[in-house]
Amino acid sequence: METTSRQFKQLSLDALANATLQNSLDGVREIMPRIRTAALAERGDFEALCDRAQEIRDRAIRQLDTHLEEFERRVQAAGGTVHWAATGEEACQIVVQICRDVGASQLIKSKSMVTEEIELNDALEQDGFAVTETDLGEYIIQLRGEKPSHILAPSLHVTLEEVAETFVEHHDIERSAPLTDATEMLAEARSIMRDKFLQADVGITGANFLVAETGAVVIVTNEGNADLTASLPDTHIVVTGIEKAVPTLDDVGVLLRVLARSAIGERLSNYTTFVQGPRRAGEATGPENYHVVLVDNGRSKMLGTEFQDMLRCIRCSACLNHCPVYTAIGGHAYGSVYSGPMGAVLTPAFAGLPAAVHLPNASTFCGRCEAVCPVRIPLPSLLRRWRQRELNARPATDGQRIGLGLWRGLNRWPPLYNFAVRLAAIVLRSLSVPGRGGQRWIRRLPLVGAAWTDFRDLPAPTGHTFQDEWRRRKS
């Protein structure tokens, strides 16, 4: 997986300086927790539902091979073909080949994070196919040549004004008045897409779940575009990750309930579609050719490791919406199509830790992600595991390793520790100046201390330690 996660520091500074992005992120921070809480409140048993969801996903992942093989048999029995792709490139080649085989030229797609992950559009366009995204957010960022900044709301970073500019630039429409109204923009996109839907030779969708017992692919959208993508063209290709398998239809019922509430604060998403193979004899509509491409691309390597819990993820985005870091910098700063806490765990697994070393480190470990995760992924613990791997890979001469070693040593020798703290209390006190409310403050520190005082003041210590005070009191 290609990422720009190495540039996290610079990308996050850019994001912090982007006023319109900050405005959108403030909206996420304010609104999303509120609507999720409201949606949970009307269902008293949400926590119990999450316990079941976790158990279902755990069971699914533990016997992933069995479920996937059963799913494959059912798809084959229904007349479809299942393809296994070990890598993203392999998956792209498979899709390109299918499109060539059916003599396609126009392709439509509904939203799929896996196809973003494997950069399928690039591969298809390089091969001469014209691809149109049909999820409105994906369509907007496709026109703008951008990556998604949120796994559910890919164009979260784009303002209404920017959408208008983009449409005016790309849509060949005679205009008598400037484009300012959102409803008008929507109608414009819809009319353009309508033609694309009718002309397309191949429709490509993702999948939210793969049901082993029936072979159904479950696709959830709020716009209904996946239904048109899956049913109008002659060929339907599902591209999805191997971890999406679940054992039974009943399991899907539980997962759909926690998914919509966690994602958008609704009981259900607008459209939930079960796709079960190509058009059957006697059916008037539906594709003639039906393919499911199961993408591994680093997932099976997580099985049996401390990161296996991450494969439970159902991509609801609650962890992004509740993350103080995500809502401060947005998705693009992560340099990966997967952002927020889930992205900070997944990206090192998919792209390699050296490429994504900042992501697990850029977390306050506030734990809100784990608290809102409907399948109870211990995200902070997994981030900490990445930090552990990263620290151990550093040379013994690394500054942070030395610092942590000194801190550990200091804490094992109380007299030395007390001396150091006493000294720090005196030195810091001597650097302080009077401020508000009779308090003394440190305005400026050198070296690593500047990372604090460049951004906030530091309350001054009183100049003596509690342990000294206590000893005096007791003697």
Partner 1 sequence: MPDAEDSMNDAGARPRGRVALFVTCLVDLYRPQVGSAAAQLLEGAGYVVEVPPQGCCGQPNFNSGDREGARKIAARVIDRFAPFDYVVAPSGSCAAMLRVHYPALFPEGTDERRAAERLAEKTFELTSFLYDVAGSREVAATLDASVTYHDGCSGLRELGVSRQPRELLKSVSGIELREMNQPDACCGFGGLFCVKYPQISERITGSKVRDILATDAEYLVAGDLGCLLQMAGKLERDGHDVKAVHVAEILAGATEPGD
Q: For residues 81 and 237, give the distance between their C-alpha atoms in angstroms, rounded to a whole number.
A: 9
- Per the CB < 8 A criterion, the answer to whether 206 and 240 are in contact is yes
3-state class percentages of the chain: helix first, strand second, coil last, to nearest 5: 55, 10, 35
Partnered with residue 439 across adjacent β-strands are none
Distances in whole angstroms, Cα of residue 331 to Cα of each of 143, 179, 297, 353, 403? 18, 27, 21, 18, 31
Rule CB under 8 A: is residue 10 a binding residue for partner 1? Answer: no
Rule CB under 8 A: is residue 306 a binding residue for partner 1? Answer: no
Sole binder of partner 1 in the list 66, 97, 411, 430 (CB under 8 A): 411
Residue placing its CB nearer to partner 1 in the complex, 274 or 417 = 417
Q: In degrees rounded to 5, what are phi and psi of residue 94?
A: -60, -45
Distances in whole angstroms, Cα of residue 77 to Cα of each of 124, 218, 277? 29, 18, 9
**Span 363-402, contacts to partner 1 by CB under 8 A:** 363-368, 370-371, 384, 386-392, 400-401
Q: From the CB of 175, what's the least distance to partner 1, in Å?
A: 39
Rule CB under 8 A: is residue 462 a binding residue for partner 1? Answer: yes
Stretch that binds partner 1, among 259-267, 274-282, 286-294, 451-459 (CB under 8 A): 451-459
Sole binder of partner 1 in the list 49, 114, 239, 362 (CB under 8 A): 362
Rule CB under 8 A: is residue 419 a binding residue for partner 1? Answer: no
Q: Which two tokens stand for residue 224?
A: 């209904």
Rule CB under 8 A: is residue 186 a binding residue for partner 1? Answer: no
Q: From the CB of 451, what's the least distance to partner 1, in Å?
A: 4
In the chain, how long is the greatest CA-to-CA distance? Answer: 95
Rule CB under 8 A: is residue 262 a binding residue for partner 1? Answer: no
Residue placing its CB nearer to partner 1 in the complex, 242 or 373 = 373
Q: From the CB of 267, what's the least distance to partner 1, in Å?
A: 24
Q: From the CB of 35, what's the least distance to partner 1, in Å?
A: 13
**Span 193-232, contacts to partner 1 by CB under 8 A:** none
Helical H runs in 200-331?
225-231, 249-264, 318-321, 326-329
**Span 329-358, contacts to partner 1 by CB under 8 A:** 329
Partnered with residue 237 across adjacent β-strands are 204, 291
Rule CB under 8 A: is residue 439 a binding residue for partner 1? Answer: yes
E strands, 152-230, in order: 202-205, 209-211, 217-221
For every residue of 7-19, DSSP letters joined together read GHHHHHHHHHH-H
Q: For residues 275 and 214, give the distance between their C-alpha atoms in angstroms, rounded to a whole number.
A: 10
311-334 exposure pattern, b = at least 16 Cβ within 10 A, e = fewer:
bbbbbbbbbbbbbebbbbbbbbbb
**Span 14-43, contacts to partner 1 by CB under 8 A:** 16, 26, 29-30, 33
Residue placing its CB nearer to partner 1 in the complex, 301 or 470 = 470
Residue placing its CB nearer to partner 1 in the complex, 77 or 391 = 391
Residue placing its CB nearer to partner 1 in the complex, 284 or 451 = 451
Q: Which two tokens stand for residue 21?
A: 């992005």
Q: From the CB of 359, what's the least distance to partner 1, in Å?
A: 11
Residue placing its CB nearer to partner 1 in the complex, 184 or 469 = 469
E strands, 50-180, in order: 81-85, 106-109, 130-133
Residue placing its CB nearer to partner 1 in the complex, 99 or 372 = 372
Rule CB under 8 A: is residue 469 a binding residue for partner 1? Answer: yes
Sole binder of partner 1 in the list 3, 5, 12, 54 (CB under 8 A): 12
Residue placing its CB nearer to partner 1 in the complex, 77 or 413 = 413
Q: What is the DSSP letter of 56?
A: H
Rule CB under 8 A: is residue 474 a binding residue for partner 1? Answer: yes
Q: How many other CB atoms are found less than 10 A from the CB of residue 284?
A: 5
Residue placing its CB nearer to partner 1 in the complex, 173 or 424 = 424
State the binding string over 310-329 for partner 1 (x if CB under 8 A, else -): --------------xx-xxx
Rule CB under 8 A: is residue 408 a binding residue for partner 1? Answer: yes
Stretch that binds partner 1, among 9-17, 80-88, 106-114, 193-201 (CB under 8 A): 9-17
Question: What angle in degrees, to the nearest 10, is found between the helix axes of 340-351 and 379-393?
Answer: 40
Sole binder of partner 1 in the list 42, 176, 397, 436 (CB under 8 A): 436
The tokens 């992560």 sit on which residue?
334
**Span 101-160, contacts to partner 1 by CB under 8 A:** none
Residue placing its CB nearer to partner 1 in the complex, 84 or 441 = 441
Rule CB under 8 A: is residue 279 a binding residue for partner 1? Answer: no
What is the three-class DSSP state of 458?
strand
Q: For residues 312 and 245, give the distance between their C-alpha atoms in angstroms, rounded to a whole number.
A: 10
Stretch that binds partner 1, among 157-165, 183-191, 256-264, 416-424 (CB under 8 A): 416-424
